[in-house]
Structure 1
Amino acid sequence: MKKILLLSDTHSHIDAQIIKYIKQADEVWHAGDIGVIEVADTIKKLKPLRAVYGNIDDKTVRAEYPLDQKFEVEKVSVWMTHIGGYPNKYNFRIKEEIQINPPKIFISGHSHILKVQFDQKLNLLHMNPGAAGKHGFHKVRTMLRFEIDKEEIKNLEVIELETRS
């Protein structure tokens, strides 16, 4: 069993609130717009990190992390990218491939809108953790936490860090 912390759109920000949850996870997944490489380095010092770069990430972040991460944890296939869309409105770049070979979990960031939605057509769970950083239009900083046990995804929690004024 793996305890996963999923975050996105930190936009160069990491603080004690985020670190508290990182320490509780087995792995951290970052769905892009890391901001500066120091954010990823801070996470990697604490826990294993799987990440993708986002549209605001510079060449240093892009050199370290790919546009897409496709991997398997326990018996669950995962596809993580920053700009991926959501069920019935997937990004044109991934639309054909996701229909041909859908993962069990599809993760995207970018929108700063937390959304977890089951795609009945493709039989996959779409997850967007919202935004954990302080830059952007979102009112509440959010992340997701869940467990993967063999082929089961369970104990999904929304983490609200703070309401922004």
Structure 2
Amino acid sequence: MKIVITGDTHIPGRGSKLPERLTAECRDADLIIHTGDFRSPAVLDELEQFAEVCGVYGNIDGEDIQARVPRRQLFEAGGLRIGLVHGHGEKKTTEQRAVEAFAEDDVDVIVFGHSHIPVVKYFKGMMLLNPGSPTDKRKLPYYSFIVLTIGEVVKADLVLFGDKG
């Protein structure tokens, strides 16, 4: 199973469209996960043309997005229990808020966004994934997203690229 994980697209704003590097990976995805801050429902519409989308809303998403995706999701994909949340809030780090959001749940993977800082690591037996952003790298050198492959092995590949065109 191939899952493309993205988020913090901020379109329109930080970008005018999804980068080709991202959409090329979406073409054969079995599932797309978006960590929130779509900004426009057009982003969700475009991603849904490629595959099923599991998404959550972020702190900049309006009622149009909130009507279509929840604040937090817990679902199964490829035999893994996945918790999905944007990660915004007060106090603590984005990562700490994401972990706390699923403290009472049995999850294998926690996917979050908000910080625009890519993360691929394990914490207390859970895989933590933040795809960064394909359109707003802030002070980082690269735009990014993650390709999660679930098969005989589970592999999370962080995709870094320099041109969001």
TM category, shorter: 0.7 to 0.9
1:141 pairs with 2:140: no
Distance in 2 between residues matched to 1:67 and 1:130, nearest whole Å: 18
Match of 1:127 among 124, 129, 135: 129
Give the one of 60, 65, 68 matched to 2:64: 60
Quote the offset at 1:158 in angstroms.
Answer: 1.2
Q: Do the aligned partners of residues 57 and 137 (structure 1) sit closer, same or farther apart at CA in structure 2, a change above 3 Å counting?
A: farther
Residue 129 of structure 1 aligns to which amino acid in structure 2? P
Letter in 1 for 2:84: M
Considering fraction of residues, name the structure with more helix. Answer: 1
Deviations 1:109-132 (A, max 9, x none): 000000112112xx2111111111
TM superposition shift of 1:54: 0.5
Q: CA deviation at 1:154?
A: 1.8
What displacement does 1:29 show?
A: 0.4
Task: Report the equivalent of 1:105.
Answer: 109
CA offsets, 1:54-110, max 9 Å, x none? 011111011111001110113210100001632xxx22x862x63332410011100
C-alpha distance 94-116 of structure 1, shift in aligned 2 (>3 A): closer
The alpha carbon displacement at 1:137 in A equals 4.2
Match of 2:82 in 1: 78
Deviations 1:27-56 (A, max 9, x none): 110011111000110010121111111011
Asked if structure 2 preserves the Cα contact closer than 8 Å seen for 1:53 and 1:65, the reply is yes
Asked if the contact 1:146–1:153 (Cα under 8 Å) also holds between the matched residues in 2, the reply is: no
- What is the count of residue pairs matched by the alignment? 154
TM-score computed with the length of structure 2 as normaliser: 0.84
Following superposition, the deviation at residue 133 of structure 1 comes to: 1.6
TM-score, normalising length: structure 1: 0.84
Residue 19 (1) aligns with residue 49 (2) = no
CA RMSD of aligned residues (A): 2.1
For structure 2, list consecutive stretches of 5 or more residues without a partner in the other structure.
Answer: 12-16, 89-93
Q: What is the aligned-residue identity percentage?
A: 23
**Larger deviation, residues 128-137 vs 6-15:** 128-137
For residues 114 and 145 of structure 1, the distance between their equivalents in structure 2, rounded to whole angstroms, comes to 12
Aligned to 2:121: 117
Query: 4+ residue stretches of structure 1 with deviation over 6 A?
Result: none
Deviation at 1:18, TM superposition (A): 1.7
| Letter aligned with residue 144 of structure 1 | I
**Residue 103 of structure 2: SS of its match in structure 1?**
helix
Shift of 1:17: 2.2
Letter matched to residue 159 of structure 1: V
Could you tell me which runs of 5 or more consecutive residues in structure 1 were left unpaired when the two chains were aligned.
none
Counterparts of 2:139 and 2:65, CA distance in 1: 23
